[in-house]
Amino acid sequence: MYAEGGETVDRYAAESDRLIKKARKDRPAIEDFYEMSEAEQGFFCEIAENPAAYSANEVAAQKLMSEGIQDEIDEQYQLLVAIPPQAYKIANANNPQQKNNKRARRGHLSDDTVRLLHKKAKLLQKDPKYRKTHPLEYKAMQKEIARACMSDFNKFVDKILIGMNAAEKAGDHKELRRLLELVGKKAKKAGGYAKPTTDADGNKMFDVEKEAEQWAVHLQQVFDEDDLEKDRTPWATLPAGARAPLQNFDRAKLVKIVHWLKKGKAGGKDQTVIETFLAAPALLEELFEMTETIYRTEQTPKTYNDILQFMLYKGGGKDKEDRSSFRPLSMIQVARKLMALYLLLQLQSEIPDTFFPETTQGFREIRGCDDVIGILDMIMDRMIDFKQDITIVFIDLAGAFDTCSWRALDVALEAAKASVKSRAMFRALYRDARGIARASKPNGRTADSEPYPIKKSVLQG
């Protein structure tokens, strides 16, 4: 609905605007904070980080304002989470097509094909023996559905080919690769519901709540500090007086980021997706306001850093009763993604290109696996031409993502000359991160665990 446009989207945008105006409250603490100078705002953040270095009066005043800001920013975030489904429900109330089509349209299927599938489902629901009692009619219906699906697929491929031609002419290699992946993806092997059937004590699990609880116990151990992490130097106190010059917040970057975020992706724990904001200018403006407040105050809403985690079986014949045979898929809130990408742009502008050696390829702009493979291919050809021996070593680090240290990254950011403000925001996004394990059954039943702390790792989406 959000991406297709039309009257429903217009109604959704209007309802979002109306609901925000109705529910929005005054935010005196945030307003008082914005009236402070940049130096005073920086001083506010410094007291929160290291209260022992300041007087009792300064700490008390900062704490009072901080508590007010926390309440207001929590209210603002809950507003952003609650309004989209309310506005959608009101905007879609008089849409008969949406009322009848309970199943969402998926992939490249057209509305006509979806209607045929719904017709078949209703017939079988009304008469489960329809295929036996009306074999000719059922066979004809199957053929009609097959023809419709093939026609839709051909149109889907033609659209991709046109897009590839346009991307090639424009020199857009990223878009070309994306379109190639759409037609070249291999079907995944079965095992989507593969999971342990016993708990840590070897007892059989029958309810989904128990599964979620057991995954939470496992993941808390994975993301807890190990002996190596505990031996690291504690988080260093950031230097005083260094935040103010970089307090400026660039809204234009946020506009770019929301259009960079991929559409059609599942949301995090709050269930919002980027389309909900792009379709409603009032909601998007509210999101931008909250993001700027988070950046300036270095305070996040209480559930902002909650990461919803699903477990995926790694395959390869690994033991399905062993929980290390699974990896967590982390679903991050759209609002948090926005802040993280803003921070990334800040870091890219602050860290000089010369900080990384040319041999470092990972997570660098305009660098990818194609470049590394191409260089390796050229080296191999050259060595063969000169009749020289060459040894190639592939190293797969065990738990490379799970063991990533945030404190070590903070030290690296300091060495890379990242600003104090960027380091402070990095800490704000990660030091209070919590995971929530979600378990599911094939029948669609799900359950979420209680939150558990995440103290290290790269959260893989």
pLDDT 10s digits, 120-136? 888 888 888 888 888 89
Band of the pLDDT at 103, cuts 50, 70, 90? very low
User: Does the pLDDT value for residue 431 go beyond 70?
Assistant: yes
Q: What are phi and psi of 271, to 5 degrees?
A: 70, 10
pLDDT in tens, 350-388: 888 788 887 777 667 677 778 888 888 999 999 999 999
Q: What is the mean pLDDT of residues 323-336?
A: 91
- Which segment of 20-29, 253-262, 310-319 scores lowest on mean pLDDT? 310-319
Q: What is the mean pLDDT of residues 212-225?
A: 93
Distance CA 385, CA 379 (A): 10
- Which segment of 3-12, 96-105, 211-220, 424-433 scores lowest on mean pLDDT? 96-105
pLDDT in the model for residue 363: 65
Q: What are phi and psi of 272, to 5 degrees?
A: -85, 150
User: Does the pLDDT value for residue 140 go beyond 50?
Assistant: yes
pLDDT in the model for residue 152: 86
Buried b (16+ CB within 10 A) or exposed e, 188-206: eeeeeebbbeeeeeeeebe
Band of the pLDDT at 75, cuts 50, 70, 90? very high
- The β-bridge partners of 329 are 310
pLDDT in the model for residue 71: 96
What's the N-to-C CA distance of the chain in angstroms?
Answer: 24
pLDDT in the model for residue 94: 62
Band of the pLDDT at 104, cuts 50, 70, 90? very low
User: Does the pLDDT value for residue 415 go beyond 50?
Assistant: yes
Distance CA 141, CA 115 (A): 12
pLDDT in the model for residue 105: 43
Distance CA 298, CA 296 (A): 6
pLDDT in the model for residue 296: 93
Model-level pTM greater than 0.85? no
- Which segment of 91-100, 145-154, 409-418 scores lowest on mean pLDDT? 91-100
In the chain, what's the furthest Cα-to-Cα distance? 87
Which has more confidence, 214 or 187?
Answer: 214
- The β-bridge partners of 447 are 439
**β-strand pairing of 434-440 with 452-453:** antiparallel
Q: What is the mean pLDDT of residues 61-88?
A: 94
Percent share of the chain, pLDDT over 70: 91
Distance CA 144, CA 112 (A): 11
pLDDT in the model for residue 193: 63
pLDDT in the model for residue 78: 95
pLDDT in the model for residue 156: 84
Q: Hunting for tokens 């979600």 — which residue is that? A: 438
User: Does the pLDDT value for residue 191 go beyond 70?
Assistant: no
Q: What is the mean pLDDT of residues 260-268?
A: 85
Whether 404 contacts 457, CB under 8 Å: yes
Mean pLDDT, rounded, of the chain? 86
Band of the pLDDT at 57, cuts 50, 70, 90? very high
pLDDT in tens, 440-451: 887 778 899 999
Band of the pLDDT at 1, cuts 50, 70, 90? very low
Q: What is the mean pLDDT of residues 404-408?
A: 91
Quickly list DSSP for 110-173.
-HHHHHHHHHHHHHHHH-TTHHHHSHHHHHHHHHHHHHHHHHHHHHHHHHHHHHHHHHHHHT-H
Q: What is the mean pLDDT of residues 295-318?
A: 91
Whether 273 contacts 334, CB under 8 Å: yes
Band of the pLDDT at 401, cuts 50, 70, 90? confident
pLDDT in the model for residue 309: 94
